[in-house]
Amino acid sequence: MSLNGFCKRSVYWIQDFLHGSKVGKHYREIKTVMRSAEIGKKIQSERLAALLAHATANTAFYQRYAGRPLEQFPIMNKSKLIENYDAIVVPVDKIPEQETEKVHVQKTSGSTGTPFAIYQDSRKRHRRVAELKYFGQMVGFQSHEKLAQCRIWTNWQSKTKSQIFRENIYPINVSKMDDDTLRELCRTVRENRITAIRAYASWYDSLLAFLISGKGDAADLKTVKVMFSTSEELNVATKEAFQEQFCIPIVECYADEEAGIMAHQKVQDNRFYLNHASYIFEILKLEEDKPAAYGELGRIVITDLYNYAFPLIRYDTGDTAILAKGNEETGGWDYLEKIYGRRLDLIYDTKDNPIHPMSFARVLKNLDGIRQWQFIQKDKSKYLLKLNVQKEKFDLENTLLEIRKIVGQDADVQIEYVEDIPVLASGKRKMVICEWKKS
């Protein structure tokens, strides 16, 4: 713990207290629920009853389910939510504790190739902040300690200098997965004595190779106490290598942009502790909407207890997992033994520089008219972008402009319009594919 972090953390909590402890109340409730399933299930049951009553009273889509238990509500995926969007949105004047005339619009990165924008109310936003603080502290990272945030920073999402100062979050743009970016990360960590890194799972593969090859100096990371892995499935060998060779633990965080943190590991503990404080979890069979048995691979379906602007009820995340029965160490709560998320192909630009596949998702989610997409590298400088679009809103010229910013101005980018992007045998769509075998 640093004096700098302590002071900024103290200022934050004092300001939150003076404004009614809007984050603090959520933080304390999360802590109470996660500590004990016996107490937590009572609170969870109350929150679920309130959510269902709200959704059935204030949305056209759910009003027909009034008075029914959760298991009689329909399973929803991203496509179904988009199809019924207007019937699910709650009018602002019907949202409790909403603080502004407009709700927050959270755009997803489209990690399945289906971009999606979801409304989140003020209370949901406070909840998400509280979740970050709780799960960070669970692995020994106090909020407002220095954190390197490695992600695709775009024109639509960035950190101002004042935000960096207040939050102690140092943004590192990892759209290019090259040695220069890795050197910048190591330099930033060394010069600012950063204590934690948050990055995409595949980024740690590149960082490990960079250090082992001798191009980077592991001493640059000596102040790092923990690293957070997000967005993709982490390579087990990479996780073990960082722990064994550099004594830096990597903890995996299962989260998405439309909901928030759904599960989190602890240091040197491979169990995924589900966020029972904010969600109802169902692990359903792969081929039918019935509960999977403990130890059986099933689909992750969540009900968000705190989004009153756009209720996410029985939302199929598109990921799969194995559920395990809770024990004393987990507070009696069930947990996940393993999560099977998405591993994404690496793409190269026309100069042979590796590009993180999330670069495309971060851009395409902000372009109007795109329902689904899939990006394929066919050869060194030949690419194919498959698109399912809403033609009256879609701007082809701007889309090609943004894609060439990523892969190179000399790129040969072909467009193929499709009615649907096919799913894999797992039921998931692969948004980025590399068919070029780099020599």
Residues making up the chain, counted from first to last: 439
CA–CA separation, 17 and 10 (whole Å)? 11
Helix (H, G, I), strand (E, B) or coil at 20: coil
CA–CA separation, 355 and 176 (whole Å)? 5
CA–CA separation, 341 and 112 (whole Å)? 11
> Can you give the pLDDT at residue 158?
63
Kindly list the averaged pLDDT for each block of 10 residues, start to end, along the chain of length 439.
90 95 97 95 97 98 97 93 94 93 80 74 96 95 93 66 84 83 93 94 88 93 95 85 95 90 94 97 92 92 97 92 92 92 75 81 83 90 92 91 92 92 61 81
> Can you give the pLDDT at residue 243?
95
pTM here is 0.81
User: Cβ atoms within 10 A of the Cβ of 357, count?
Assistant: 26
Strands (E) across 293-381 are located at 297-304, 315-324, 335-340, 347-348, 354-355, 370-377
φ/ψ of 68, rounded to 5, equals -90, 155
**DSSP character string of 32-50:** HHHH-HHHHHHHHHHHHHH
CA–CA separation, 174 and 172 (whole Å)? 6
> Can you give the pLDDT at residue 365?
78
Instruction: Please report, for the chain, the start and end positions of each structural domain, with discontinuous segments joined by +.
Output: 347-434
φ/ψ of 400, rounded to 5, equals -65, -35
Helix 3-18 crosses helix 24-35 at what angle (to 10 degrees)?
100
Helix (H, G, I), strand (E, B) or coil at 332: coil
Report CA-CA distances (Å) from 151 to 143, 270, 274: 19, 24, 24
Rg (CA), the chain: 22
CA–CA separation, 108 and 54 (whole Å)? 24
Helix (H, G, I), strand (E, B) or coil at 271: strand
Q: In what order do the strands lie in the sheet with 226-230?
A: 169-173, 147-151, 196-200, 226-230, 250-256, 260-266, 269-274, 335-340, 315-324, 297-304, 279-284
In a 13 Å sphere around the CA of 192, the CA atoms on its Cβ side amount to 22
> Can you give the pLDDT at residue 426?
47
> Can you give the pLDDT at residue 177?
73
CATH fold of the domain at 347-434: GMP Synthetase; Chain A, domain 3 (3.30.300)
Helix (H, G, I), strand (E, B) or coil at 115: coil
CA 262 to chain centre: 9
CA 20 to chain centre: 28
Q: Tokens 């970016």 correspond to what residue?
A: 181
Q: What is the DSSP letter of 278?
A: T
